[in-house]
Amino acid sequence: MNTKVLPIHYPLISNYPQHAYYFSIISNNEKFLPWIYSNYLNMCFMESSNNCFLDYYAQTPEHHFHPCFVDSQRLLRSTILKYIPDIVEFLKDQIHFENYIWLHVNEYYIPGSPAYKKYSFPHAIFINGFDDNEQRFNISGFLKHRKYMCSYASYSEIEKSFYDFGKTHIDSDVTQHVNYMHLLKLHPNHHLGLPYQFDMKFVAEQIKDYFESKNLSLNFRSFYSHELYSDWTYGINILPRLKRQINLHLEDNKLIDVRPYYTLYNYKKLMVARIRYIQENKFFDFKSIFREGFKTLENKSEILLNLYIKYKISKEKKYIYQLMNLLDDLYLIEKVLLERLLNDFSDKKLL
């Protein structure tokens, strides 16, 4: 086999591994853009006494059927340990069969990660190629400064990182996401041979859900009780909840994780790209007020992220107060913009 590398590109969504890894496969593929831009239109916000978590509310191949992939597999770590004697050869075989590999390893052994040779840290990485001559795998992950990037890891480093996992006590716990390996293969003919069609009406409905902060767990009642997620916040109401979390952390003199701000910026950036895609393909004609309005939201969310970074470095509270004021501003601008856009959708019979 010698060498084989499956193509990847910088992902359109790069806030967390569960999105970034499979988006690195489909982001630069024209035939999957209709699915990308028809989805990923809503967000969810989870809060606890000492932390918060913001993410897209979307189907991923980690847990759901996905039209971009076929014959994708989810293997339990304990099964691999019991039945696969040579993990390196197994991973190489998967690449040979066109399977991208999303697995969890101990980053103590992964060069470039913050944990490298410092401490055990089970975390997800992605493998898309190998080179027998160099004795290494092509990997990507959230490595230096926890930013998504591509790199390499030797066969021995991957072998050690898989077997010396650092958390053997959870090897049989099927509820732990770190206990799974995912094999992703692109669907050559789409689901049942029918390419996914961009759905402007579906987009309009999701934007309405976002504006109304609809509890989207109600859509998945056949899978689980929505009461499990009834305390989550959805859509535009995330913004005041995020401000509330900042206030709570200020009182305790603690920092909120940077990832909610990065996710928010990623979401606004994707919306601008979506509008551009819709315009270029003539699915809907957005008035200039909407195109410019969403670009303003993207710019302001980037400023939010930068203000947080300044605060984290300097610890000067002026930046956090500016950030909270900007969250108020973002909420008001978006609310007015979406209300007008929904009226426009209604006029065009999309709602």
- Per run of 10 residues, the mean pLDDT along the chain (length 351 residues) is 92 93 93 94 87 87 76 86 94 96 95 94 95 97 94 97 75 69 84 82 97 86 69 94 86 78 96 97 96 97 95 90 95 97 96 93
- Compute, in degrees rounded to 10, the torsion defined by CA atoms 167, 170, 172, 173: -150
Give the C-alpha distances (Å, rounded to integers) separating 74 from 1, 8, 26, 265: 24, 20, 19, 31
**Per-residue exposure over 111-128, b if at least 16 CB sit within 10 Å of its own CB, e if not:** eebebbeeeebbbbbbbb
Question: Tell me, what's the pLDDT at 192?
Answer: 67
Burial of 218 (0-12, 13-18, 19+ CB in 10 A): exposed
Beta bridge partners of 127: 101, 139
* Beta carbons within 10 angstroms of residue 175's beta carbon: 6
Burial of 231 (0-12, 13-18, 19+ CB in 10 A): exposed
Question: Tell me, what's the pLDDT at 196?
Answer: 86
Spatial separation of the C-alpha atoms in residues 223 and 226, rounded to whole Å: 9
Question: Tell me, what's the pLDDT at 174?
Answer: 54
Question: Tell me, what's the pLDDT at 178?
Answer: 82
